[in-house]
Amino acid sequence: MSSNNFKPLRNKVVDKAKEDILELGQELFHPGFSVDCVIFGFHENQLKVLLLKMKHIDIWALPGGFVLKEEDVEDAATRVLQSRTGLDNIFLRQFHLFGQPGRSKHDFNAELLKKRQVPFDGSHWFLQRFMTLGFYALVEYSSATPRPDNNSDACEWWDLQQVPALMQDHNQILDKALEALRLQLAYQPIGYNLLAEKFTMPELQKLYETILGKQLDRRNFQRKMLTYDILERLDERRSGVAHKAPYLYRFNQEKYQQALQQGLQGGW
């Protein structure tokens, strides 16, 4: 992220936010392009996703927005997420560009402009075709309290199994993000910021099982995880457990960061 020019851009958009961005979009934003954020929350062994309920149209959607004309796309996703949900310091990862011509619904957007009482004709920027870049992140959700912005009635965590029909193609974007998150488990470490500093192997396995949506063999999981060489086993065991209390582990920060950059040893 080029965070050097990040703050001024945010200030600029905060000023503009006093007015309606749908009216100013032509002047403000890169044309025909948006970003959408899939924020997975991990809490008590449950995988959840953060959704906004849109004002006026009463439908749930992923937090999304537009890219300022001089803004880095990665910075835009962070800004959009922060301004729409109040969540900050989340590492977002782009995973797919959705570029089918049919994905922007002209009539749907025209309806929204009417309800927002924005004057427009057929050439209005908001009615053009939009490509959207999908970003995802996995966060320990209790660490962040989402709040809706002034275009939303609600900002809530939903169980993945209970997600309703979302705006436009947002269900497909969500599915694709989950796919990307699962693939990530195959070549990069995960878990830092999601687990306590010290955790047991069964707790780490539960995180993987929750994301993958399937049970894993205990022995294979431990063997594989240890070959990745990102864990330090401590000379402590989880207390308050019956006999055979499991050992506690923590991530070796240096090796964890290295594996994020270069992929897991377990790869090749």
- Smaller CB distance to a second copy: residue 126 or 141? 126
Which residue's CB is nearer to a second copy, number 33 or number 249?
A: 33
Smallest separation, CB 264 to a second copy (Å): 7
Q: Select 73 or 113, whichever has its Cβ closest to a second copy.
A: 73
DSSP 102: G
Rounded Cα distance, 188 and 209, in Å: 16
Q: Would you say 127 or 155 has its CB closer to a second copy? A: 127
- Complex with a second copy: residue 55 or 105, whichever CB lies closer: 105
Residue with tokens 């992923």, as numbered in its chain = 62
Least spacing, CB of residue 156 vs a second copy, in Å: 29
Structure token digits, residue 213: 């949506």
Pull the structure tokens for residue 127: 């009615």
**53 Rama sector, left if φ>0, alpha if ψ -120 to 50, beta otherwise:** beta
Residue 181 CB neighbour total at 10 angstroms: 20
Minimum CB separation from a second copy for residue 5, in Å?
A: 8
Q: What is the 3-state secondary structure (H, E, C) of 31-48?
A: EEEEEEEEEEEEECCEEE
Minimum CB separation of residue 85 from a second copy in Å reads 21
Provide the minimum distance between the beta carbon of 183 and a second copy in the complex, in angstroms, as a whole number.
5
Which residues form the interface with a second copy (CB under 8 A)? 2, 5, 30-33, 67, 69-74, 76, 94, 96-97, 99-101, 129, 131, 133, 182-183, 185-187, 208, 212, 216, 221, 224, 263-264, 266-268
What is the SS3 assignment for 156? Answer: strand
Beta-carbon neighbour count of residue 78 at 10 Å? 24
Q: Output the CA–CA distances (angstroms, integers) from residue 23 to 17, 126, 174, 233, in the order listed.
A: 11, 9, 28, 57
Q: Least separation, in Å, of the C-beta of 188 and a second copy? A: 8
CA distance 183 to 196: 24
Nearer to a second copy, 186 or 245 (CB): 186
